[in-house]
Structure 1
Amino acid sequence: MRADACRNLDTLLQTGAKVLARDPSASITQIAAEAGLDRRTVYRRFATREALLVALFEAKLDEAERVLDEARLTEAPIAVALHRYVEGIVPVSRQWPLDFSSLESPDHVTEKRRQQLRARLSAFVDRGVDEGFFRADVPRTWVRKLLDDLVKLAAHSNPEMEPPKAADLVVEILLRGAGKQ
Protein backbone atom coordinates (compact mmCIF):
# COMPACT_ATOMS: atom_id res chain seq x y z
CA MET A 1 0.00 0.00 0.00
CA ARG A 2 1.34 3.44 -0.91
CA ALA A 3 2.29 5.82 1.90
CA ASP A 4 -0.52 8.26 1.09
CA ALA A 5 -3.04 5.41 0.99
CA CYS A 6 -1.81 4.24 4.42
CA ARG A 7 -2.19 7.78 5.79
CA ASN A 8 -5.67 8.08 4.30
CA LEU A 9 -6.70 4.74 5.80
CA ASP A 10 -5.32 5.69 9.21
CA THR A 11 -7.05 9.09 9.07
CA LEU A 12 -10.28 7.45 8.00
CA LEU A 13 -10.21 4.87 10.78
CA GLN A 14 -9.24 7.38 13.48
CA THR A 15 -11.90 9.83 12.37
CA GLY A 16 -14.49 7.12 11.85
CA ALA A 17 -14.06 5.88 15.41
CA LYS A 18 -14.61 9.34 16.85
CA VAL A 19 -17.51 10.26 14.56
CA LEU A 20 -19.33 6.98 15.15
CA ALA A 21 -18.78 7.23 18.92
CA ARG A 22 -20.50 10.63 18.80
CA ASP A 23 -23.18 9.60 16.31
CA PRO A 24 -23.62 5.84 15.80
CA SER A 25 -25.84 6.48 12.78
CA ALA A 26 -23.25 8.59 10.92
CA SER A 27 -22.88 7.71 7.25
CA ILE A 28 -19.72 6.93 5.33
CA THR A 29 -20.19 10.26 3.56
CA GLN A 30 -20.18 12.12 6.90
CA ILE A 31 -17.12 10.23 8.09
CA ALA A 32 -15.29 10.87 4.81
CA ALA A 33 -16.09 14.59 4.96
CA GLU A 34 -14.82 14.91 8.53
CA ALA A 35 -11.68 12.97 7.61
CA GLY A 36 -11.11 15.32 4.67
CA LEU A 37 -11.49 12.51 2.16
CA ASP A 38 -13.72 12.04 -0.83
CA ARG A 39 -16.47 9.51 -0.15
CA ARG A 40 -15.47 7.62 -3.31
CA THR A 41 -12.04 7.05 -1.75
CA VAL A 42 -13.73 5.50 1.26
CA TYR A 43 -16.09 3.38 -0.82
CA ARG A 44 -13.15 2.01 -2.84
CA ARG A 45 -11.73 0.64 0.41
CA PHE A 46 -15.00 -0.22 2.20
CA ALA A 47 -17.99 -1.20 0.09
CA THR A 48 -20.39 -0.90 3.02
CA ARG A 49 -20.70 0.92 6.32
CA GLU A 50 -20.59 -2.46 8.06
CA ALA A 51 -17.24 -3.25 6.39
CA LEU A 52 -15.88 0.03 7.75
CA LEU A 53 -17.18 -0.84 11.24
CA VAL A 54 -15.49 -4.24 11.11
CA ALA A 55 -12.20 -2.55 10.16
CA LEU A 56 -12.57 -0.12 13.05
CA PHE A 57 -13.15 -2.92 15.53
CA GLU A 58 -10.28 -4.94 14.10
CA ALA A 59 -7.99 -1.93 14.69
CA LYS A 60 -9.33 -1.57 18.24
CA LEU A 61 -8.82 -5.28 18.90
CA ASP A 62 -5.27 -5.14 17.52
CA GLU A 63 -4.41 -2.40 20.00
CA ALA A 64 -6.17 -4.10 22.91
CA GLU A 65 -4.35 -7.34 22.15
CA ARG A 66 -1.02 -5.50 22.15
CA VAL A 67 -1.85 -3.97 25.56
CA LEU A 68 -2.79 -7.34 27.03
CA ASP A 69 0.44 -8.87 25.74
CA GLU A 70 2.56 -6.02 27.14
CA ALA A 71 0.79 -6.14 30.53
CA ARG A 72 1.94 -9.77 30.93
CA LEU A 73 -1.24 -10.75 32.74
CA THR A 74 -0.16 -14.34 33.34
CA GLU A 75 3.45 -13.73 34.40
CA ALA A 76 3.80 -10.34 36.09
CA PRO A 77 2.75 -9.78 39.70
CA ILE A 78 -0.98 -8.97 39.82
CA ALA A 79 -0.53 -5.31 40.87
CA VAL A 80 2.09 -4.69 38.18
CA ALA A 81 0.08 -6.39 35.43
CA LEU A 82 -3.09 -4.56 36.47
CA HIS A 83 -1.39 -1.17 36.37
CA ARG A 84 0.28 -1.93 33.02
CA TYR A 85 -3.04 -3.04 31.57
CA VAL A 86 -4.96 0.04 32.70
CA GLU A 87 -2.19 2.44 31.70
CA GLY A 88 -2.11 0.88 28.24
CA ILE A 89 -5.83 0.40 27.65
CA VAL A 90 -6.91 3.94 28.62
CA PRO A 91 -5.27 5.48 25.52
CA VAL A 92 -6.67 2.67 23.36
CA SER A 93 -10.15 3.37 24.68
CA ARG A 94 -9.69 7.06 23.91
CA GLN A 95 -8.32 6.40 20.44
CA TRP A 96 -11.02 3.83 19.58
CA PRO A 97 -14.10 4.98 21.57
CA LEU A 98 -16.54 2.76 19.69
CA ASP A 99 -18.69 0.27 21.54
CA PHE A 100 -19.02 -3.19 20.00
CA SER A 101 -22.79 -2.91 20.16
CA SER A 102 -22.42 -0.62 17.12
CA LEU A 103 -21.90 -3.66 14.93
CA GLU A 104 -25.28 -4.51 13.47
CA SER A 105 -24.31 -8.06 12.62
CA PRO A 106 -21.13 -9.00 14.45
CA ASP A 107 -18.43 -10.31 12.17
CA HIS A 108 -17.63 -13.86 13.26
CA VAL A 109 -13.86 -13.34 13.34
CA THR A 110 -14.14 -10.00 15.13
CA GLU A 111 -16.53 -11.39 17.73
CA LYS A 112 -14.31 -14.44 18.30
CA ARG A 113 -11.28 -12.20 18.87
CA ARG A 114 -13.28 -9.99 21.21
CA GLN A 115 -14.36 -12.99 23.26
CA GLN A 116 -10.77 -14.27 23.43
CA LEU A 117 -9.55 -10.92 24.77
CA ARG A 118 -12.38 -10.81 27.30
CA ALA A 119 -11.49 -14.35 28.39
CA ARG A 120 -7.88 -13.28 29.00
CA LEU A 121 -9.06 -10.48 31.30
CA SER A 122 -11.46 -12.81 33.10
CA ALA A 123 -8.62 -15.31 33.61
CA PHE A 124 -6.53 -12.48 35.03
CA VAL A 125 -9.29 -11.61 37.53
CA ASP A 126 -9.54 -15.32 38.42
CA ARG A 127 -5.80 -15.36 39.02
CA GLY A 128 -6.13 -12.27 41.23
CA VAL A 129 -8.81 -13.95 43.34
CA ASP A 130 -6.90 -17.25 43.50
CA GLU A 131 -3.74 -15.46 44.66
CA GLY A 132 -5.66 -13.50 47.29
CA PHE A 133 -5.28 -10.14 45.56
CA PHE A 134 -9.03 -9.66 45.13
CA ARG A 135 -11.64 -10.60 47.69
CA ALA A 136 -13.03 -14.10 47.26
CA ASP A 137 -16.45 -13.06 48.64
CA VAL A 138 -17.02 -10.62 45.77
CA PRO A 139 -18.29 -12.32 42.59
CA ARG A 140 -15.54 -12.45 40.00
CA THR A 141 -17.92 -11.11 37.39
CA TRP A 142 -18.38 -8.00 39.54
CA VAL A 143 -14.63 -7.44 39.79
CA ARG A 144 -14.33 -7.86 36.02
CA LYS A 145 -17.24 -5.47 35.33
CA LEU A 146 -15.89 -2.97 37.82
CA LEU A 147 -12.51 -3.03 36.05
CA ASP A 148 -14.18 -2.40 32.67
CA ASP A 149 -16.34 0.40 34.05
CA LEU A 150 -13.45 2.11 35.84
CA VAL A 151 -11.33 2.00 32.69
CA LYS A 152 -14.18 3.51 30.70
CA LEU A 153 -14.62 6.27 33.30
CA ALA A 154 -10.90 7.00 33.40
CA ALA A 155 -10.65 7.12 29.62
CA HIS A 156 -13.70 9.20 28.81
CA SER A 157 -14.88 11.21 31.79
CA ASN A 158 -11.53 12.93 32.25
CA PRO A 159 -9.78 12.75 28.86
CA GLU A 160 -7.00 15.17 29.83
CA MET A 161 -5.82 12.88 32.65
CA GLU A 162 -2.54 11.21 31.75
CA PRO A 163 -2.73 7.40 31.47
CA PRO A 164 -0.32 6.72 34.38
CA LYS A 165 -2.44 8.86 36.72
CA ALA A 166 -5.62 7.25 35.40
CA ALA A 167 -4.08 3.82 36.06
CA ASP A 168 -3.14 4.85 39.61
CA LEU A 169 -6.73 5.89 40.31
CA VAL A 170 -8.36 2.88 38.68
CA VAL A 171 -6.13 0.45 40.58
CA GLU A 172 -6.64 2.26 43.88
CA ILE A 173 -10.43 2.43 43.48
CA LEU A 174 -10.66 -1.17 42.30
CA LEU A 175 -8.64 -2.41 45.26
CA ARG A 176 -10.53 -0.40 47.83
CA GLY A 177 -13.78 -1.77 46.48
CA ALA A 178 -12.74 -5.30 45.65
CA GLY A 179 -9.31 -5.58 47.24
CA LYS A 180 -8.67 -8.04 50.01
CA GLN A 181 -8.94 -6.24 53.36
Structure 2
Amino acid sequence: VLCMAGIITKRDLEQLSWSILWMIAGAFALGVAMQQSGLATHLIQSVPFDTWSPLVVIIGSGLLCYLMANFISHTATAALFIPILAIAGSSMTDQLAPFGGVSTLLIGVAICSSVAMILPISTPPNALADATGFIQQKYMVKTGLIMGLVGLLLGYLVLILCGVNGIF
Protein backbone atom coordinates (compact mmCIF):
# COMPACT_ATOMS: atom_id res chain seq x y z
CA VAL A 1 0.00 0.00 0.00
CA LEU A 2 2.85 2.40 0.83
CA CYS A 3 4.48 1.66 -2.53
CA MET A 4 1.23 2.10 -4.44
CA ALA A 5 0.60 5.43 -2.72
CA GLY A 6 4.09 6.62 -3.65
CA ILE A 7 5.18 7.03 -0.04
CA ILE A 8 7.91 4.41 -0.43
CA THR A 9 9.80 4.26 -3.70
CA LYS A 10 12.03 1.66 -5.31
CA ARG A 11 15.08 3.57 -4.02
CA ASP A 12 13.72 3.49 -0.47
CA LEU A 13 13.36 -0.29 -0.64
CA GLU A 14 16.93 -0.63 -1.92
CA GLN A 15 18.23 1.29 1.08
CA LEU A 16 16.52 -0.91 3.67
CA SER A 17 18.77 -3.05 5.83
CA TRP A 18 17.44 -6.40 4.67
CA SER A 19 19.74 -8.31 7.01
CA ILE A 20 17.96 -6.78 10.02
CA LEU A 21 14.55 -7.57 8.53
CA TRP A 22 15.69 -11.17 8.00
CA MET A 23 16.80 -11.33 11.64
CA ILE A 24 13.35 -10.12 12.72
CA ALA A 25 11.74 -12.83 10.57
CA GLY A 26 14.11 -15.37 12.15
CA ALA A 27 12.98 -14.27 15.61
CA PHE A 28 9.36 -14.86 14.61
CA ALA A 29 10.32 -18.31 13.34
CA LEU A 30 12.10 -19.10 16.61
CA GLY A 31 9.03 -18.19 18.65
CA VAL A 32 6.73 -20.27 16.45
CA ALA A 33 9.14 -23.22 16.50
CA MET A 34 9.33 -23.22 20.28
CA GLN A 35 5.54 -23.24 20.52
CA GLN A 36 4.85 -25.83 17.84
CA SER A 37 7.66 -28.21 18.81
CA GLY A 38 6.39 -28.42 22.38
CA LEU A 39 9.64 -27.02 23.82
CA ALA A 40 7.80 -24.12 25.43
CA THR A 41 5.32 -26.45 27.14
CA HIS A 42 8.12 -28.73 28.31
CA LEU A 43 10.00 -25.78 29.79
CA ILE A 44 6.96 -24.51 31.67
CA GLN A 45 6.17 -27.95 33.10
CA SER A 46 9.72 -28.40 34.37
CA VAL A 47 9.62 -25.26 36.57
CA PRO A 48 7.46 -25.35 39.75
CA PHE A 49 5.99 -21.85 39.41
CA ASP A 50 3.27 -22.51 41.98
CA THR A 51 5.93 -22.63 44.74
CA TRP A 52 7.32 -19.18 43.86
CA SER A 53 6.24 -15.81 45.19
CA PRO A 54 3.68 -14.22 42.84
CA LEU A 55 5.65 -10.95 42.72
CA VAL A 56 8.77 -12.87 41.70
CA VAL A 57 6.83 -14.51 38.88
CA ILE A 58 5.18 -11.26 37.74
CA ILE A 59 8.31 -9.11 37.83
CA GLY A 60 10.78 -11.85 36.90
CA SER A 61 8.83 -12.93 33.83
CA GLY A 62 8.53 -9.30 32.78
CA LEU A 63 12.24 -8.65 33.12
CA LEU A 64 13.07 -11.82 31.20
CA CYS A 65 10.61 -10.79 28.51
CA TYR A 66 12.18 -7.30 28.38
CA LEU A 67 15.63 -8.81 27.98
CA MET A 68 14.56 -11.16 25.21
CA ALA A 69 12.50 -8.51 23.39
CA ASN A 70 15.63 -6.40 23.01
CA PHE A 71 17.30 -9.22 21.04
CA ILE A 72 14.35 -10.67 19.12
CA SER A 73 11.21 -8.94 17.94
CA HIS A 74 8.54 -7.76 20.37
CA THR A 75 5.84 -9.75 18.67
CA ALA A 76 7.85 -12.97 18.69
CA THR A 77 8.69 -12.50 22.36
CA ALA A 78 5.08 -11.85 23.33
CA ALA A 79 3.90 -14.75 21.16
CA LEU A 80 6.34 -17.01 22.99
CA PHE A 81 5.79 -15.76 26.55
CA ILE A 82 2.04 -15.20 26.73
CA PRO A 83 0.97 -18.83 26.11
CA ILE A 84 3.67 -20.09 28.47
CA LEU A 85 2.72 -17.69 31.23
CA ALA A 86 -0.97 -18.36 30.74
CA ILE A 87 -0.23 -21.99 31.61
CA ALA A 88 2.05 -21.00 34.51
CA GLY A 89 -0.51 -18.48 35.77
CA SER A 90 -3.30 -21.03 35.72
CA SER A 91 -1.26 -23.24 38.05
CA MET A 92 -0.94 -20.39 40.57
CA THR A 93 -4.33 -18.67 40.29
CA ASP A 94 -4.79 -18.39 44.09
CA GLN A 95 -1.34 -16.83 44.61
CA LEU A 96 -1.87 -14.27 41.80
CA ALA A 97 -5.39 -13.28 42.93
CA PRO A 98 -4.26 -10.50 45.34
CA PHE A 99 -2.34 -8.86 42.47
CA GLY A 100 -5.13 -8.98 39.89
CA GLY A 101 -4.85 -12.59 38.78
CA VAL A 102 -3.40 -14.07 35.63
CA SER A 103 -4.28 -10.94 33.64
CA THR A 104 -1.71 -8.95 35.65
CA LEU A 105 0.93 -11.48 34.69
CA LEU A 106 0.03 -11.36 31.00
CA ILE A 107 -0.38 -7.58 30.81
CA GLY A 108 3.02 -7.25 32.50
CA VAL A 109 4.60 -9.30 29.73
CA ALA A 110 2.93 -7.14 27.09
CA ILE A 111 4.21 -3.97 28.77
CA CYS A 112 7.75 -5.31 29.13
CA SER A 113 7.81 -6.50 25.54
CA SER A 114 6.61 -3.11 24.32
CA VAL A 115 9.24 -1.00 26.08
CA ALA A 116 12.23 -3.03 24.86
CA MET A 117 13.91 -1.03 22.11
CA ILE A 118 17.67 -0.92 22.49
CA LEU A 119 18.61 -2.67 19.24
CA PRO A 120 17.43 -2.40 15.65
CA ILE A 121 16.20 -6.00 15.70
CA SER A 122 13.80 -5.45 18.60
CA THR A 123 11.15 -3.75 16.49
CA PRO A 124 10.70 -2.99 12.77
CA PRO A 125 10.55 0.80 13.32
CA ASN A 126 13.95 0.58 15.01
CA ALA A 127 15.24 -1.43 12.05
CA LEU A 128 13.96 1.18 9.61
CA ALA A 129 15.43 4.03 11.67
CA ASP A 130 18.79 2.25 11.76
CA ALA A 131 18.66 1.56 8.04
CA THR A 132 18.47 5.27 7.25
CA GLY A 133 21.99 5.73 8.61
CA PHE A 134 20.99 8.94 10.40
CA ILE A 135 20.88 7.30 13.83
CA GLN A 136 23.96 5.62 15.26
CA GLN A 137 23.33 2.41 17.14
CA LYS A 138 25.10 3.67 20.28
CA TYR A 139 22.48 6.44 20.59
CA MET A 140 19.71 3.92 20.00
CA VAL A 141 21.06 1.77 22.85
CA LYS A 142 21.43 4.72 25.24
CA THR A 143 17.96 6.11 24.54
CA GLY A 144 16.42 2.63 24.50
CA LEU A 145 17.84 1.79 27.93
CA ILE A 146 16.55 5.01 29.47
CA MET A 147 13.10 4.64 27.89
CA GLY A 148 12.99 0.94 28.79
CA LEU A 149 13.83 1.48 32.45
CA VAL A 150 11.33 4.33 32.80
CA GLY A 151 8.71 2.27 30.97
CA LEU A 152 9.33 -0.78 33.17
CA LEU A 153 9.08 1.22 36.39
CA LEU A 154 5.96 3.14 35.41
CA GLY A 155 4.35 0.13 33.76
CA TYR A 156 4.79 -2.13 36.76
CA LEU A 157 3.80 0.57 39.21
CA VAL A 158 0.50 1.15 37.41
CA LEU A 159 0.01 -2.58 36.75
CA ILE A 160 0.47 -3.67 40.35
CA LEU A 161 -1.59 -0.75 41.71
CA CYS A 162 -4.44 -1.61 39.34
CA GLY A 163 -4.19 -5.31 40.18
CA VAL A 164 -4.14 -4.79 43.94
CA ASN A 165 -7.11 -2.41 43.74
CA GLY A 166 -9.17 -4.87 41.70
CA ILE A 167 -9.28 -2.90 38.46
CA PHE A 168 -8.46 -6.02 36.43
Tell me the TM-score normalised to structure 1 length. 0.43
Tell me the TM-score normalised to structure 2 length. 0.45
Determine which structure has greater relative contact order: mean sequence separation of CA pairs < 8 Å that are 6+ residues apart, divided by chain length: 2
